[in-house]
Structure 1
Amino acid sequence: MKCKDALREYHEYMIVEKNYSQHTVAAYQRDISHFLDFVYQTYQIQSIEDVTQDHVYAYLKRLHQKHSDTTIDRHMISLRQFYQFLMKEKIISKNMMSAFDMPKRKKYLPQVLSEKEVMALLDSIEVKDATSSRNRCMVEILYACGLRVSEMCHLTLQNVNIQKGFVRCIGKGNKERIVPMNNQCCVLLKEYIENYRDTLCLYGSSPYLFLTQKGKPMTRDDFYHILQRIVQKSPLSKHISPHTLRHTFATHLLEHDADLRSIQEMLGHSDISTTTIYTHVSQRKTIEDYRQLHPRMQERNKKNEKI
């Protein structure tokens, strides 16, 4: 079978049988296309049966020259899933990706903001027009609800219940969940929807909650650039990504004694082991507080200053 035909069948499989989200399908297809383009341009291979382990080794070597470990791991996962599908459908007779183990990487704790830093970031967005109102609401809802940025971008007006204080979002695997909102977030959203949002609807009505200045639905890239401009104007000096707000949401809930299972449900994690990373972040803050606040540690700090 030709490589492009194998990829087309896998694309249909991801949509019809696996029910993957549009973003997940696009990510897998992009990674696999990158590999298939490499073997065609480098070795002129067009048939999926002709791809060998040597070709994968050469591809990984090329990736190591230009990409981070995280990106390489993602490509590996995409190829492993692709070849499992090819074996399942009997398109190939041997799964060569089974010879490649995922390397063990050092796990880094997610970066989070303190409560004061969150307030400084939010207060730096002065609501004075449709754009600033929208921006304040987007940042507020990411911190208030811990949504993934793609989940926020796909929110519609019907997904938001301001009166009862919750949002209904579609997460990974098209799984639906309900997440509560705080009163401040509800007030800001109500003001945005009633007073500002219509000015962004340049092409008639739109079901999406957040629109760009061109009247189109907000995208992940659109929001990333908006957030960077917000951070630059704020008093904060650290790098902040959309996911930083999600990490901060979970960590702050845990620090205020929220149940880990509840946090798991609000984040939309299928496995609670993913959520437990925030216990380590919370423990790190506890250690920092101890070093700063315990009387004996303060005595040691004073002695070190004298030295």
Structure 2
Amino acid sequence: MATAEQSTVTASVPTPSPEEQSLRRGFHLLAFEDALALEERASPRTIEAYRRDVIRCAAFMREQGITKATEITPGSLREFVYHLKDLGLAGTSIRRNISALRTWFRIMLAEGLVTHDPTERLDTPARFRTLPEVLTVEDVLKLLAAPGLDERLAFRDRAMLELAYGAGLRVSEWIGLALKDVLLDEGLVRVLGKGSKERLVPIGRSAIGAVAVYVRELRPVLERGEGKGVLFLNGQGKPLTRMGAWKILRKYVTMAGIEKPVSPHTLRHSFATHLLEGGADLRAVQEMLGHADIATTQIYTHVDREYLRSVHRQFHPRP
């Protein structure tokens, strides 16, 4: 017979979809919810919020090829937090997500379901200074050269990678681009960023050429009336999804022999870092990234101390 507490939990949690049920098994979500209700005495509202947060994390991990809670690492959790930033979540929401993850792992540890807690060194938004990996220029060149002509969708994949890195786009921005947003004759791409703010970002010859070839040679073949005017389509002629973009990137990272973790956020961060290291003005980089506050750009675009010293020696009147 169900207890009053169990009845309350059951009433507060919607019936999960088949996909969510699969996630629940691999990531021990039922044990998590039971412990929240019966041991933590959490309110139904808190249980529902934490459930959503952990489900989101589990779904993200599955996209990365991680199917069990025991396979989650500190690095994969950091990428999840950067993913939340890419989604535009407020700092308070990200902090709640991190709190849910810490509670989740604490419960799994207590139940003997995992043997380590990867949340121990997970930073909250107020302390974000540990930035994602930055690709070297050499790594970027290897990644961009990875799509070979023997790949059916090579023209699309090359254009996507060139544009993502060449314009420093968030993953949501590059999969949301419309055909009309790419102004090839002007060397610009029109981007709808956070808060529906529009910005124009210049793109170089390599990106222009790759997109032009894709639009001319492959996209008309893929388009079957369901493209909705979106630039990047999947093999079935429908707009590319976030999961699809992640899979494509991961495929070519592997093909390029790049061993460090790479996400769409890594390409965006590399874009900004490479611009700054090449001598670009911080305000210009801020504009291209679409940041309202230059302090955000400074966090995204760390420059090593030696580079700063060299700039100071070169330009300061009293070096």
Normalised-by-shorter TM-score class = 0.5 to 0.7
- Cα gap change, 1:223/1:123 in structure 2, threshold over 3 Å: closer, same or farther? same
User: What is the TM-score of this pair, normalised by structure 1?
Assistant: 0.62
Verify: 1:202 aligned to 2:217, yes or no.
no
Tell me the SS of whatever aligns to 1:163. Answer: helix
C-alpha distance in structure 1 between counterparts of 2:184 and 2:309, whole Å = 38
Aligned-pair Cα RMSD in Å: 4.5
1:286 shift after superposition: 3.3
C-alpha distance in structure 2 between counterparts of 1:79 and 1:125, whole Å = 35
Tell me the SS of whatever aligns to 1:168. Answer: strand
Verify: 1:283 aligned to 2:289, yes or no.
no
Amino acid at match of 2:288: M
Of 58, 74, 93 in structure 2, the residue corresponding to residue 78 of structure 1 is 93
Of 183, 188, 210 in structure 2, the residue corresponding to residue 161 of structure 1 is 183
1:29 aligned partner:
none
Tell me the SS of whatever aligns to 1:214. Answer: coil
Of 206, 214, 218 in structure 2, the residue corresponding to residue 184 of structure 1 is 206
C-alpha distance in structure 2 between counterparts of 1:109 and 1:50, whole Å = 35
Which whole-Å deviations, capped at 9, do the CAs of 1:152-208 have from their partners, x for residues lacking one?
Answer: 000010111111110101111111111011011111111110111111113455301
- Cα gap change, 1:221/1:114 in structure 2, threshold over 3 Å: closer, same or farther? same
1:126 shift after superposition: 2.1
Verify: 1:273 aligned to 2:295, yes or no.
yes
1:210 shift after superposition: 0.3
1:142 aligned partner:
164
2:140 aligned partner:
118
Which whole-Å deviations, capped at 9, do the CAs of 1:29-50 have from their partners, x for residues lacking one?
Answer: xxxxxxxxx8899559xxxx98
Identity of aligned residues (%): 39
- Cα gap change, 1:174/1:288 in structure 2, threshold over 3 Å: closer, same or farther? same
Amino acid at match of 1:274: T
Amino acid at match of 1:211: L
1:243 shift after superposition: 1.1
Aligned length: 238
Amino acid at match of 2:175: C
Query: Which structure 1 segments of 5+ residues have no match?
Result: 1-37, 82-101, 290-307
1:258 aligned partner:
280
User: What is the TM-score of this pair, normalised by structure 2?
Assistant: 0.60
C-alpha distance in structure 1 between counterparts of 2:219 and 2:125, whole Å = 47
Q: Is residue 130–residue 199 contact of structure 1 (8 Å, CA) maintained in 2? A: no
Of 131, 145, 148 in structure 2, the residue corresponding to residue 109 of structure 1 is 131
C-alpha distance in structure 1 between counterparts of 2:148 and 2:278, whole Å = 28
Tell me the SS of whatever aligns to 2:304. Answer: helix
Amino acid at match of 1:228: R
Verify: 1:223 aligned to 2:238, yes or no.
no
C-alpha distance in structure 1 between counterparts of 2:300 and 2:95, whole Å = 29
1:214 shift after superposition: 1.4
Q: Name which one, 1 or 2, has greater alpha-carbon Rg.
A: 1
Query: Which structure 2 segments of 5+ residues have no match?
Result: 1-31, 58-68, 97-123, 311-319
- Cα gap change, 1:256/1:41 in structure 2, threshold over 3 Å: closer, same or farther? same
Which whole-Å deviations, capped at 9, do the CAs of 1:62-90 have from their partners, x for residues lacking one?
Answer: x9x99877668979823999xxxxxxxxx
1:241 shift after superposition: 1.1
1:99 aligned partner:
none
Which whole-Å deviations, capped at 9, do the CAs of 1:193-230 have from their partners, x for residues lacking one?
Answer: 01111111134553010000011111111111111111
Q: Is residue 129–residue 196 contact of structure 1 (8 Å, CA) maintained in 2? A: no
Q: Is residue 127–residue 136 contact of structure 1 (8 Å, CA) maintained in 2? A: no
Amino acid at match of 1:247: H
Q: Is residue 146–residue 245 contact of structure 1 (8 Å, CA) maintained in 2? A: yes
1:278 shift after superposition: 4.7
- Cα gap change, 1:43/1:124 in structure 2, threshold over 3 Å: closer, same or farther? closer
1:134 shift after superposition: 0.4
- Cα gap change, 1:116/1:50 in structure 2, threshold over 3 Å: closer, same or farther? closer
1:105 shift after superposition: 3.9
